[in-house]
Chains A and B, each alone.
Chain A
């Protein structure tokens, strides 16, 4: 019998990249009206589900906790995660969190993870390779630094055995195998698996799963440490780029390759 696992998956609600996305307000923050579960987080959730299902799932005592930080709407990312198969949800929400940069976000999430760990140690914190809105990829590394845990980032495969994690990472010039003891912070790429969709049974089951709401006070963070006030960076200006416009479009009449080269020559690109 394999050991059971308690895994926290970080999930973020982000504006749907299929539509136009906007920055607004004094702090130039992202509008989140049309938000969805960040696509890249689905790979982390799937990885967590595969690891726990291999150990008998929730019946055997494994836990997959979907943790999200954000305003009221962020609960939708948690609900979607519960429908896909997470066993419970935790929503860290507080008005003071608005406008948090990566440093403030990682501080608040680290506090929430410690709080979840108080009910029994956490084995793994799993995240996607980036959010599809901020795209900085800073938070997993900062969480590891704050929690004093090993970081195993951009894993394209993952194996947990006897309290150790082994992962493969693929860089442009080489591939690596890395090892670390648990607990660890792990981010996974979109190559690691094929995320499942929620099925009808999962959607019904999700209604009975619990979502715990935590405030900053619950996790012992002072409001001055987060949000615009607690962030270590500030966005001083934001300007929408004019959309690209279509240029010359031609239909090939047998000489389009030549015309392409003429265009490059005229642009001094040869």
Chain B
């Protein structure tokens, strides 16, 4: 019987870093099993063993991806029961949170989102009210469902690798009955840059860019960073809405956040003030962003950013 069940949705050919992080946290809590949806490639099976998974549960149905959330939660509830796990870890994506939400109702389990650390007794740590409080929370129910943010731990393989057994779990026949069906899927063009929510460095631009994201993108590429934006920039259509950092966009906690041409009003601050180091470039010395910046430059971003980009390229050789 496992203590912890990690849900991994469609890993493809290799496990993502965030999945390895979930496995690392899971092992710190006890014997770990994995509930997988989608194909199980050899590389993934090997990685699951290297990370100490004792069992891999797989759904009897192959069409869970054709529906929104509900059938995955129904499957996961069955996998929890089959594994005997009392703690379930899910990634903190929008879909991950919703799977956790429905799983919680099915199991009668407390759900805690946006978790950054888990104690041995199951206490989960997170920040709330846009990073203004750190809280600890605990489920009061026999099962606990946690959605864990990316970059919360450094992934480490298990001291003793395992050879996980594979178990097929029956998906309830009515799982798809009242689920919304996905009738079309269009991939978006990949940027080749790191994912905004997982990135170690984010370079973000706002109103001050006046429609030209070139200097932000070039600095981001020199640093190997993701590109973010304020709501003013996404609302103006200068960059895709996916790039929005802030209260109505993504919340990021990178090692470094470089803010260019963003005033830093509360809507933006809510999404980035837990970054480890904040650098701000803005021509208005009164911008609120300077109140939270570790290093601020009052100046023209169209001069400062290209100069920094050139200097980084020079030093990196």
A residues adjacent to B (C-beta < 8 A): 17-18, 20-23, 28, 30, 39-40, 101-103, 106, 129, 132-142, 144-146, 148-154, 165-167, 170-180, 184, 190-191, 231-241, 243-252, 254-261, 263-265, 267, 269-270
B306 → A minimal CB distance (Å):
7
The answer to whether B112 and A191 have CB atoms under 8 Å apart is: no
Residues of A within 8 A of B180 (CB): 150-152, 165, 167, 178-180, 184
Contact of B295 among A234, A244, A260 (CB under 8 A): A260
Contact B101 A261 (CB under 8 A): no
| B112 to chain A: closest residue by CB | A233
Q: Which 6 A-B pairs have the closest CB atoms?
A: A257-B307, A252-B299, A232-B110, A141-B101, A180-B180, A233-B110
Residue of chain B at shortest CB distance from A148: B178
> A173's contact among B179, B190, B277, B298, by CB below 8 Å, is which?
B190
Q: Hey, which chain B residues are within 8 Å of A148, CB to CB?
A: 178
Give B residues with C-beta under 8 Å from A: 68-70, 73, 94, 97-98, 100-102, 104-106, 108-114, 123, 127-141, 178-188, 190, 195-196, 201, 223, 241-242, 247-248, 255-256, 266-267, 270, 273, 277-279, 281, 285, 290-300, 303-312, 315-316
Given contacts A132-B247, A241-B132, A145 and B295 within 8 Å (CB-CB): no
Complex Cα distance, B67 from A125, in Å, reads 19
Contact call A258/B311, Cβ cutoff below 8 A:
yes
Instruction: Chain A residues near B141: list those with CB within 8 A.
Output: 232
Chain B residue numbers with a CB within 8 Å of A136 are 97, 111, 113-114
A81–B184 alpha-carbon span in the complex (Å): 34
| Contact partner, A247, options B178, B185, B273, B293, Cβ 8 Å | B293
- Identify A257's interface contact among B135, B291, B293, B304, CB under 8 A: B304
Can you report 5 residue pairs joining A to B where beta carbons are below 8 Å apart? A102-B101, A151-B98, A235-B136, A241-B127, A258-B307
Question: Is B298 touching A249 in the complex (CB atoms < 8 A)?
Answer: yes
How far, in Å, is A109 (CB) from chain B's closest CB? 12
Closest to A134 in B: B128
Is the CB–CB distance between A175 and B186 below 8 Å? yes
- Using Cβ atoms and an 8 Å threshold, which residues of chain B touch A167? 180
Give the distance in Å from the alpha carbon of A237 to the alpha carbon of B136 in the complex.
5
12 new A-B contacts, CB < 8 A, other than A176-B182, A236-B137, are: A136-B111, A137-B98, A137-B101, A141-B97, A172-B195, A177-B184, A231-B110, A233-B140, A239-B133, A249-B290, A249-B297, A256-B281
Q: Report the Cα distance A236→B123, complex, angstroms.
A: 8
Residue pairs across A and B with CB atoms within 8 Å: the count is 262
- Do B70 and A145 touch (CB < 8 A)? yes
Given A141-B98, A172-B242, A241-B132, also A150-B113 (CB < 8 A):
no
Asked if residues A145 and B73 are in contact (CB atoms below 8 Å), the reply is: yes
Report whether over half of chain A's contact residues are helix, strand or loop; otherwise say mixed.
Answer: mixed
Q: Which of A133, A175, A243, A246: most chain B CB closer than 10 A? A: A246
Contacts of B295 in A (CB 8 A): 247-248, 250, 260, 263
A165–B181 alpha-carbon span in the complex (Å):
11
- Closest A residue to B256 using CB positions: A269
The CA-CA distance from A245 to B273 in the complex, in Å, is 11
Known: A246-B296, A252-B298. Is A151-B68 also a contact (CB below 8 A)? yes
Contact residues in A for B298 (Cβ distance below 8 Å): 249-252
- What is the CB-to-nearest-CB distance from A173 to chain B, in angstroms, rounded to a whole number? 6
Q: Are A256 and B304 in contact (CB under 8 A)?
A: yes
**Which residues of B have CB within 8 Å of A21?**
129-130, 132
Closest B residue to A269 by CB, please name it.
Answer: B256
Q: Are A145 and B105 in contact (CB under 8 A)?
A: yes
Chain B residue nearest to A262 in the complex (CB)? B311
Judge whether B128 and A247 touch: CB under 8 Å: no
Whether B133 contacts A238 by the Cβ 8 Å rule is yes
Return the chain B residue nearest A228 by Cβ. B140
Contact (Cβ within 8 A) B139 A40: no
A260 x B279 contact (CB < 8 A): yes
Q: Are B137 and A102 in contact (CB under 8 A)?
A: no
